Amino acid sequence: MQKVACPLFALVVVACRPDLPIPEAGLRPATQAAGITVAFEPEAPVTAAPRVLRVHVAAEPSLDEARLFLVRGELRDSHLRQIERDDISKALAERFVPSVRWRADDGSVVLAPTVPLDPDETYAVASGEPRASVAFVVEPAEAAPLLVRAWPPAEASGAGLFGLYCGDVTLPEVSFEATLAPDGPLGAFGRGVAPAGAGGACLRFVGRGLAAEGGPWVPPPVVWLPGLPWPLRVDPRPFGGAGNEDLGEAIEGPLDEARLECEAFEVPFGPGCVEVEDDRLLGRAPAAAMLWGIAGEGLDVVMTTGKNERFVLKGLPAGKDVSLDVATIDVHGRQRRLTFSATTLTPMPHVVLNEVMANPLGPEPDQEWVELYNDGSVEAALGELVISDIGGETVLPEIMLPPGRFAVIVNETFVVDDEIDVPPAEDALLVRVPALGKSGLGNGGEIVRLLDERGRTISRFPAIPKPKAGQSVVRRSPDAPDGVRDSFQLAEPTPGSANTASFL
């Protein structure tokens, strides 16, 4: 590990050259106030500070590190007096931005926020000794892309030193080294989840020589990559320190011990299991948090799963032999790679419960409805399906639902435009039934199921907190799996169209 001091404020990198992916740390002060000097890394004015940054603060003759904070919003002198006297109110403490701080070799103090700052918002550097503050405004969101940390989970900051940061832009192949700060482990940056080749929009960091205890350590705030016209902000959540809570069963020894026992209709898929269908795999993850990189057959998938979580991999060719490269990494940084081979089924319908309105603004049960969506590539016979809730079962009529189309199941008394509730989309298939449930859908957020002709559950809505009048329960996307908390949410209703409304 080599430490190289750059001018003014120090950043430990392999060398200080302009062509490095991580800029050199020679900084000019952004502003001065009441005896303190503030500089941003990367360098920026106080009118457009980076969303991810390190704030370097110096003072003459000295600066009290324990009384230095980054605060959301502007500050009054009364706030500074609280910091000076170590008598901080709850209201002020709630505005503190979580940060790692350390003393640099030149006596200055570095404040490194461990969360990205909000675009276009005002923040302030607050010093109690000397008593001073410097306000600054954060750059707009579009100023530079943010690579969000996909792994490890936020609650696993004390886990193995492997980080994956993903965005919306395909990255070039890169390889460079950097050291986490302050005085953290040296590591290598590269693209994607090696060696599977998945994650073309992700930047990985693999640390070397991680101590059993230490940190927290933060990654470089910004990197420049060849071929990209702008820098990439790197999610500042730290490594090391406390963490590792509730991530599933602790797994000692080889990763094989984490493998699931697959059901008769499933096949092994890494440490998990999948059911092979036509254009997709329906999967179950093991009893520990896991990062997956999956490549092949046109797929480039990076995903994370929690304890025993279900997942869907969609986009495979139907009715063909397929082969996938699968890499997994657990929260301890242990990696496993294998090749998965299977033969997919011929094209089939995939009808899902996509949205449920159990508590309309209009009269109940008349204005209640259930939205179905055919996420498959062939038409589906609704007459083979049943909607079931706590009040009973609703057998659907003999109607075909084309692929990529929505069906809104309503009571016979449903009024298309009652001038109160959102009406179904004009191109939606409106399907009337004698009654939804025994006496309408319950408003308490109970479970709703879609059953096939054998009585098997093929789609399921969970019991979630009771929606307010006029709110619906939606699936975030048609292929969002059952049994996953983030697959469902309360939202503004969109009967007969994609769930693109703002989630509540």
- Single out the residue of 98, 109, 332, 116 nearest to residue 216, CA to CA: 98
Phi-psi region of 308 (alpha: psi -120 to 50; beta: other; left: phi over 0): left
pLDDT digits (tens, 9 = 90+) for 99-117: 999 998 888 999 999 999 9
Q: What is the pLDDT of residue 11?
A: 28
Q: What is the pLDDT of residue 246?
A: 42
Q: What is the pLDDT of residue 54?
A: 96
State whether residue 487 is helix, strand or coil: helix
> Terminus-to-terminus CA distance in the chain, angstroms?
48
**How far, CA to CA in Å, does 69 sit from each of 36, 110, 427?**
13, 10, 55
State whether residue 178 is helix, strand or coil: strand
Q: What is the pLDDT of residue 390?
A: 82
Q: What is the pLDDT of residue 214?
A: 77
Rounded to an integer, what distance in angstroms lies between the CA atom of residue 326 and that of residue 334? 14
Q: What is the pLDDT of residue 334?
A: 81
Q: What is the pLDDT of residue 293?
A: 94
Q: What is the pLDDT of residue 300?
A: 92
- Single out the residue of 436, 361, 452 nearest to residue 394, CA to CA: 436
Q: What is the pLDDT of residue 331?
A: 82
Determine how β-strand 351-357 pairs with β-strand 99-103.
unpaired
Q: What is the pLDDT of residue 466?
A: 77
Stretches where the chain sits below pLDDT 50 are: 1-18, 212, 243-254
85 CB burial (10 A radius; 0-12, 13-18, 19+): exposed
Sign of the torsion angle spanned by Cα atoms 432, 433, 434, 438: negative
Q: What is the pLDDT of residue 421?
A: 95
Q: What angle do CA 18, 221, 158 make, to 5 degrees?
A: 135
72 CB burial (10 A radius; 0-12, 13-18, 19+): middle
Q: What is the pLDDT of residue 209?
A: 61
pTM of the model: 0.81
**How far, CA to CA in Å, does 41 sit from each of 45, 202, 221, 232, 306?**
10, 23, 8, 13, 35
Number of neighbours of residue 400 by Cβ within 10 angstroms: 14
Q: 394 and 382 in contact (C-beta within 8 Å)?
A: no
Half-sphere exposure (CA, 13 Å, Cβ side) for 78? 3
Determine how β-strand 392-395 pairs with β-strand 457-461.
unpaired
**How far, CA to CA in Å, does 428 sit from each of 15, 453, 458, 474, 476?**
61, 24, 22, 16, 19
Residue with tokens 């002020």: 92
Long-range contact set of residues 342-345: C-beta below 8 Å, sequence gap at least 24: 342/267, 342/276, 342/281, 343/276, 343/319, 344/276, 344/277, 344/278, 344/279, 344/316, 344/317, 344/318, 344/319, 344/320, 345/276, 345/277, 345/278, 345/318, 345/319
Rounded to an integer, what distance in angstroms lies between the CA atom of residue 183 and that of residue 18? 22
